[in-house]
Amino acid sequence: MTPREIRAELILRGINQRQIADQLGVSESIISHVISGRRRSDRIRRAIARALGKPVHRVFPDEVA
């Protein structure tokens, strides 16, 4: 998924980046950086994918299945 698609899907599900950040104890900007691909964190990628109800490799195609 592209960063825009990830953000749109989160909005459709009523989830914002702040909620994911709060659950993980990180800043909202880190979530944004992971979504945009500027930063990599497997833990955050898993949390985003879980919030979207999709496997990590579907949300972040460069992730090894």
The highest-level CATH class for domain 3-58 is mainly alpha
45 within 8 A of 56, measured Cβ to Cβ: yes
For residue 41, what pLDDT is reported? 96
Question: What does the domain layout of the chain look like in residue ranges?
Answer: 3-58
For residue 65, what pLDDT is reported? 45
Q: Give the model confidence (pLDDT) of 1-53 as tens digits.
A: 999 999 999 999 999 999 999 999 999 999 999 999 999 999 999 999 999 99
Which residues, other chains included, contact 24 with Cβ-Cβ below 8 Å and sequence gap of 6+? 31, 43, 44, 47
Local confidence band at 63 (pLDDT 50, 70, 90 cut-offs): low
Gap between the Cα atoms of 57 and 26, Å rounded: 22
For residue 62, what pLDDT is reported? 80
For residue 6, what pLDDT is reported? 98
Give the predicted TM-score (pTM) of the model: 0.90
